[in-house]
Amino acid sequence: MQKIIVDTNVLVSALIQYHYPFKIVVEIFSNEEIQLCLSDELFAEYFNVLNRKKFAKFPDFMANSQALLVDIEKIAIKYFPLTRVEIISDPDDNKLLELAEISQADFLITGNTNDFKIHEYKGTKIVSPKEYWTEYMKSPSL
């Protein structure tokens, strides 16, 4: 079983275009060998970002984002990070590393290559959606 953390920017991309982020999100819900890791703090960020009015210009974005949030709450395994870290220059991104540590996730998938200069954190590989899909995805259903 792969444990993964999905950065918010991957969810936004998945709702806008049919490419690697979209394939990953579909796979999360169809592949029993993938476990989505979540914290309250990360879910709050998902909620806040996916409800931004600027995304309403994309067809069906708002309806699809609400459905996605409900589905994420149903399937994700929730963790409660115990430690705080200050490694990433954007303080909001440190919550992903905190979640990676407590969940012992295999992968943190992010499109944010500007802030994530490290490629691994305490055993969690930090990868782009394309890298995850092409190099680490086990038996994709698409």
Instruction: Kindly report, residue by residue over 3-18, the tens digit of the pLDDT.
Output: 999 999 999 999 999 9
Q: Are 79 and 124 in contact (CB under 8 A)?
A: no
Instruction: Kindly report, residue by residue over 82-139, the tens digit of the pLDDT.
Output: 999 999 988 899 999 999 999 999 999 999 988 898 999 999 999 999 999 999 986 6
pLDDT the model gives residue 91: 85
pTM for the model stands at 0.94
Distance CA 102, CA 63 (A): 32
Domains and CATH numbers, the chain: 2-136 (3.40.50.1010)
pLDDT the model gives residue 142: 56
The torsion angle over the Cα atoms of residues 46, 51, 53 and 59, rounded to 10 degrees, is: 90
% of residues, the chain, pLDDT over 90: 90
Calculate the average pLDDT of the chain.
Answer: 95
Instruction: Kindly report, residue by residue over 47-62, the tens digit of the pLDDT.
Output: 999 999 999 999 999 9
